[in-house]
Amino acid sequence: MKIGLFCGISIPMKKSDLFFNVLRLPVDFLMLVAAGLTTYFLRTEILSVFRPVLFEFNLPLAKYVYLVVIVSVFFIGVYAISGLYSMRSRLSLAEEFFSVSIASSAGIMLIIIYIFLRQELFDSRFLVLGNWFLVIVFVWLGRLIIRWLQQIMVAKYNFGVHRIIIVGNNEGAISLIKEINNDLSSGYRIVKHFSEPEVLLIKSAIGNPGVDEIILTHPHYSEDKVSELVDFCNENHITFKFVPNISQLLTSNFSVDVFKGIPFIEIKRTSLDGWGKVIKRMGDVFGSILGLIVFLPLFILTAFVIKWETEGPVFVRLKRISWNKEFKLLKFRSMVNNAEELKHYLAAFNERADGPLFKMRDDPRLTKTGKFIRKLRIDELPQFWNIFKGDISLVGPRPHQPDEIDKYQKHHKKVLAIKAGATGFAQISGSSDLSFEQEVALDSFYIDNWSLWMDIKIILKTVLKMFFDRSAV
């Protein structure tokens, strides 16, 4: 069996891992500042008894605090480059202390080189050497506190735990079950153990309390059974991991994790994970707030015109699916008030007969104002509120209706792997002129190859289409 044939849609990592990994950044910064201030206090208050301070005039506390903040930001950059914020690395205490020591030493060395190249005389060598020692101690201490908090939150309060099903009848399965049950702080909770990858039995076990991961510990089941299991994970947004043998390490689209000495391979569909996920969400929040502020005058004008022309609400709240969850998509009303009730009467005029979507260019339900705001895509601007709430993202696959998704074929469901978007790769590549299969193919490409730069390009092209493309109607 060649594992490269299989793919699993993944929930990227345990929520507890993501939360506490992101938490390390501000805690590191606070510890860096604390180390700098402690060094200054030691030199000016404690050691001054033995050797008086000679730099109180050219390096007062206010100026020193400013330098400490700048240097702390610099150190955060050094730590990032050194991999101390990697979402996939699980370091032991000794490994983390060693990594912090190496990165801090590199940072101090770069500071010393900078001072030397500037040909400046530094008034206190203790401030440099003391900072070096205390930064290592303080940062490592901060990370110890985070580890302690994570163990308590996970073990006692089940914060961000992953519920898993283990499939396998070998010693690896028994060993893994024993390790997880003996260590509640691992973040895993076993829902069920099956000796065979029988999808019907597994399906009956995922209802309540739900399952986040399925781990296959035996690599020698038939290809058909494993293929069926991976397809099941695809359709239900369950992470698929397996314990590999040597012949199965044949794919580049995977993530390696080690738990209690047992290697797992997580087959991945998208690089939108870890810090990429955090950065994308930060961009969504910033972009949605900016959009709501910039377009506020247009919101008021559009609302007035809609209300003046026809009776009914200014906004419509449409049922849509994003990331396999139902939500209400907010848009300016561009149709008559009972448009959804009239839809089935127009089914014969659907121009998108190739798939489950409905599209009619001269839709009689459109109002005059509706036609205008659709041409300019003004009707979609209220989606900034959905982006701010986290229902959708700025960029992603198109959010579709629940009744449309019910008609999806198996390969169409890949577009539900990530949050839907207000705009996306398919929208800028042909909009309504694309067939449904082409749209799915483009969205699948975006999921497989996501990058921040790709999002930026899609947003810029979307702005251009708003002014020059009129295919929305």
At residue 246, the pLDDT reads 44
pLDDT in tens, 376-422: 889 999 999 999 999 999 999 989 888 888 888 877 888 888 899 99
Residues 169 and 213 grouped into a single domain: yes
| 149-153 contacts, C-beta under 8 A, 24 or more apart | 149/20, 150/16, 150/20, 150/185, 151/185, 153/16
At residue 115, the pLDDT reads 75
Residues 124 and 186 grouped into a single domain: no
* CA–CA separation, 456 and 283 (whole Å): 10
Region 240-264 average pLDDT? 62
Region 268-288 average pLDDT? 83
Domain final position from 267, 302, 320: 267
Domain final position from 207, 242, 267: 267
| Listed residue (391, 390, 451) closest to 425, CA to CA | 451
* CA–CA separation, 338 and 353 (whole Å): 24
State the residue range of the domain holding 36: 15-156
In a domain, 10, yes or no: no
Q: Which residue has the higher pLDDT, 96 or 359?
A: 96
Residues 357 and 434 grouped into a single domain: yes
3-state secondary structure of 258: strand
9 pLDDT more than 60: no
At residue 252, the pLDDT reads 46
Residues 187 and 110 grouped into a single domain: no
- Give the single-character DSSP code of 194: E
49 pLDDT more than 70: no
The backbone torsions φ and ψ at residue 471, rounded to the nearest 5 degrees and listed phi first, read -80, 0
At residue 2, the pLDDT reads 36
Ramachandran assignment for 210, one of left (phi > 0), alpha (psi -120 to 50 degrees), beta (any other)? left
Give first-to-last CA distance, the chain, whole Å: 49
Residues 346 and 460 grouped into a single domain: yes
Mean pLDDT of all residues belonging to the chain = 81
Residues 139 and 219 grouped into a single domain: no
* CA–CA separation, 335 and 245 (whole Å): 58
Residue 144 banded pLDDT, cuts 50, 70, 90: very high
Domain final position from 215, 238, 267: 267
Residues 95 and 189 grouped into a single domain: no
3-state secondary structure of 165: strand
Residues 179 and 117 grouped into a single domain: no
In a domain, 142, yes or no: yes
Region 7-16 average pLDDT? 45
In a domain, 116, yes or no: yes
At residue 278, the pLDDT reads 86
In a domain, 67, yes or no: yes
Least confident piece of the model among 133-137, 152-156, 351-355, 418-422: 351-355
In a domain, 9, yes or no: no
pLDDT in tens, 206-238: 766 678 889 888 767 787 888 888 888 877 778
* CA–CA separation, 178 and 243 (whole Å): 16
Residue 11 banded pLDDT, cuts 50, 70, 90: very low
Residue 5 banded pLDDT, cuts 50, 70, 90: very low
At residue 12, the pLDDT reads 39
CA 187 to chain centre: 19
Residues 239 and 224 grouped into a single domain: yes
Residues 251 and 289 grouped into a single domain: no
pLDDT in tens, 417-470: 889 999 998 888 865 667 788 888 888 888 888 888 889 889 988 888 777 665
In a domain, 1, yes or no: no
In a domain, 229, yes or no: yes
How many distinct structural domains can be found in the chain?
3
Residues 341 and 281 grouped into a single domain: yes
Residues 262 and 407 grouped into a single domain: no
Contact present, 226 and 265 (Cβ < 8 Å): no
Q: Where are the alpha helices (DSSP H) in 368-451?
A: 368-375, 383-389, 402-405, 425-428, 436-448
Burial 221-251 (b: 16+ CB within 10 A, else e): beeebbeebbbbbbebbbbbbbbbeeebeeb
At residue 320, the pLDDT reads 92
Residue 163 banded pLDDT, cuts 50, 70, 90: confident
276 pLDDT more than 70: yes
* CA–CA separation, 6 and 265 (whole Å): 12
CA 67 to chain centre: 33
Contacts of 94 (CB under 8 A, 6+ apart): none
Q: Tokens for 387?
A: 């982006």
Verdict on whether the full-model pTM lies above 0.85: no
CATH number of the domain within which 187 lies:
3.40.50.720
In a domain, 301, yes or no: yes
CB count within 10 Å of CB 453 equals 8
Rg (CA), the chain: 28
Contact present, 106 and 81 (Cβ < 8 Å): no
Residue 325 banded pLDDT, cuts 50, 70, 90: confident
pLDDT in tens, 342-363: 676 677 677 666 566 666 777 7
330 pLDDT more than 90: yes
Ramachandran assignment for 168, one of left (phi > 0), alpha (psi -120 to 50 degrees), beta (any other)? left
At residue 251, the pLDDT reads 46
At residue 85, the pLDDT reads 87
pLDDT in tens, 17-48: 778 888 999 999 999 999 999 988 887 776 65
In whole angstroms, how far apart are CA 147 and each of 104, 284, 376? Answer: 20, 30, 51
Contact present, 187 and 17 (Cβ < 8 Å): yes
At residue 255, the pLDDT reads 66
